[in-house]
């Protein structure tokens, strides 16, 4: 009995020391970005002509690890990562799609890995930059953890990921803005540090165009999202008050104001259903989305078209001086990501 007790205590001690080591490592290496981080600046970038029509693409590529074969433990599934071959295959398909759509003026991507165990240390941002070599590429980190210990039976491990903005025009600046708030200690050390990436362009009428790439919080009770949305609102109104043009696109992890699931979408995901409030912004701002095609599916099980809950959380927000012309979610059947690309065309209103 004494031997058994000693063995049991030894196991408990090893587990306790391992957990302590993980917490100490997380505390020492915790990514603490400033509220504002300059990614890039250009002295003489040139100007976008006033009245221009601009083509857009947004897509959360799910780090090329959340294809149709995957469920995910954080979404009610059991899997942590897919195989290396599947990640490479997903990346190849993503690159092929982006190659076919590089005619777009702006491509805003989320969950782009640069050195994560979950995507087998592939530098996806570099691979995408090589395909979109006629676009200026900017990257903002929103997930930098040396070791994510969950789930304990098969830890997620090292994660380095973020937002990638690719533009056909040279921005005068590219700036990362940290969203306020995070989970408490120690959980917050292992979660994303949410942000939005602002690329600022001169326009020939003397104003500026702000193209904003955003990825808002998921998996919270709504309090984090509210703080983020309040922060973003203040930023948007300040910039629009200066007369600037604003286009926001990305994964909002909530549905646009007033959205109602169409009848042909019977498997709409109501588990974490959340709507942006209708009075979030003054009249004139446009929530630009395709309400007929799902942009995201829940990862409770591998994808099945007739069984998987879906939702619409990827879309654009346009300031009153930007006109929405075309918007369409590409139905790729969630084969290579748990999100689908959303294409759009917009116009900068002259004298707007």
CATH for 96: 3.60.10.10
User: Is the separation of the CB atoms in 322 and 29 below 8 Å?
Assistant: no
**326 shares a domain with 225:** yes
The runs of H, that is alpha helices, within the chain are 2-29, 84-100, 124-131, 223-241
- Return the pLDDT at 28: 63
Query: Would you say how long the chain is, in residues?
Result: 352
**117 shares a domain with 11:** no
List beta partners, residue 167: 106, 136
CA atoms of 260 and 266, how far apart (whole Å): 12
- Return the pLDDT at 13: 62
**DSSP for residue 339:** B
**167 shares a domain with 52:** yes
**8 shares a domain with 95:** no
pLDDT > 60? residue 36 = yes
Q: How confident is the model at residue 270 (pLDDT cuts 50, 70, 90)?
A: confident
CA atoms of 162 and 124, how far apart (whole Å): 10
Segment 232-238 long-range contacts (CB within 8 Å, at least 24 positions apart): 232/179, 232/196, 233/280, 233/281, 235/177, 236/281, 236/317, 236/319, 237/281, 237/282
Task: List the domain range (segments joined by +) for residue 10.
Answer: 1-30
Token duo for residue 156: 């997620």
Give the pTM: 0.94
The dihedral through the CA atoms of 187, 250, 199, 140 has a sign that is positive
Q: How confident is the model at residue 189 (pLDDT cuts 50, 70, 90)?
A: confident
Per the structure, how many domains does the chain have? 2
**337 shares a domain with 217:** yes
User: Is the separation of the CB atoms in 68 and 302 below 8 Å?
Assistant: yes
Among candidates 66, 73, 32, which has minimal Cα distance to 156? Answer: 73
User: Is the separation of the CB atoms in 67 and 116 below 8 Å?
Assistant: no
Task: Sort strands 208-215 and 245-251 into parallel, antiparallel or unpaired.
Answer: parallel
**303 shares a domain with 158:** yes
The dihedral through the CA atoms of 243, 108, 274, 31 has a sign that is negative
**70 shares a domain with 26:** no
CA atoms of 176 and 141, how far apart (whole Å): 8
**111 shares a domain with 6:** no
- Return the pLDDT at 316: 98
Mean pLDDT of 67-89: 95
**112 shares a domain with 23:** no
**310 shares a domain with 274:** yes
Among candidates 164, 196, 172, 201, which has minimal Cα distance to 52? Answer: 201
CA atoms of 253 and 298, how far apart (whole Å): 11
154: three-class secondary structure by DSSP = coil
- What's the 3-state SS for 93-127? HHHHHHHHCCCCCEEEEEEEECCCHHHCCCCHHHH
- Kindly report, residue by residue over 4-33, the tens digit of the pLDDT: 766 666 656 655 565 656 566 556 666 688
- Return the pLDDT at 119: 98
| Neighbour-count burial for 193-220, b at 16+ CB within 10 Å, e otherwise | bbbbbbbbbbbebebbbbbbbbbbbbeb
- Return the pLDDT at 187: 65
**137 shares a domain with 9:** no
**287 shares a domain with 252:** yes
Within 8 A by CB and 6+ apart from 270, the residues are: 309
As a whole number, the mean pLDDT across the chain is: 92
């Amino acid at each position: 009995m004494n031997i058994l007790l000693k063995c049991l205590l030894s196991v408990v001690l090893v587990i306790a020391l391992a957990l302590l080591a993980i917490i100490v490592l997380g505390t020492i290496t915790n990514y603490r970005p400033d509220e504002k981080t300059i990614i890039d600046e250009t002295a003489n970038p040139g100007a976008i002509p006033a009245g221009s029509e601009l083509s857009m693409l947004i897509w959360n590529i799910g780090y090329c690890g959340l294809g149709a074969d995957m469920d995910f433990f954080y979404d009610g599934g059991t899997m942590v990562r897919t195989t290396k071959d599947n990640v490479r295959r997903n990346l190849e398909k993503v690159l092929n799609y982006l190659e076919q759509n590089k005619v777009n003026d702006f491509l805003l991507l989320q969950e782009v890995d640069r050195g994560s165990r979950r995507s087998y240390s592939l530098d996806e941002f570099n691979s995408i930059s090589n395909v979109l070599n006629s676009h200026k590429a900017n990257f903002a980190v929103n997930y930098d953890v040396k070791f994510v210990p969950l789930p304990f039976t098969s830890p997620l491990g090292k994660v380095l990921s973020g937002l990638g903005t690719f533009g056909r025009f040279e921005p005068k600046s590219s700036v990362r803005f940290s969203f306020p708030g995070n989970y408490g200690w120690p959980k917050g050390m292992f979660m994303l540090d949410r942000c939005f990436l602002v690329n600022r362009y001169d326009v020939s009428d003397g104003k500026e165009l702000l193209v904003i790439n955003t990825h808002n919080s998921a998996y919270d009770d709504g309090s984090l999202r509210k703080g983020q949305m309040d922060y973003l609102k203040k930023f948007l109104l300040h910039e629009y008050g200066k007369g600037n043009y604003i286009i926001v696109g990305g994964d909002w992890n909530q549905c646009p104001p007033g959205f109602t699931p169409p009848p042909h979408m019977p498997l709409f995901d109501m588990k974490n259903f959340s709507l942006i409030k209708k009075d979030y912004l003054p009249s004139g701002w446009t929530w630009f989305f395709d309400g007929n095609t799902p942009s995201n599916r829940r990862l409770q099980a591998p994808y099945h078209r007739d069984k998987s809950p879906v939702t619409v959380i990827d879309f654009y927000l346009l300031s009153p001086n930007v006109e929405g012309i075309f918007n369409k979610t590409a139905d790729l059947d969630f084969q290579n990501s748990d999100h689908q690309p959303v294409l759009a065309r917009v116009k900068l209103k002259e004298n707007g």
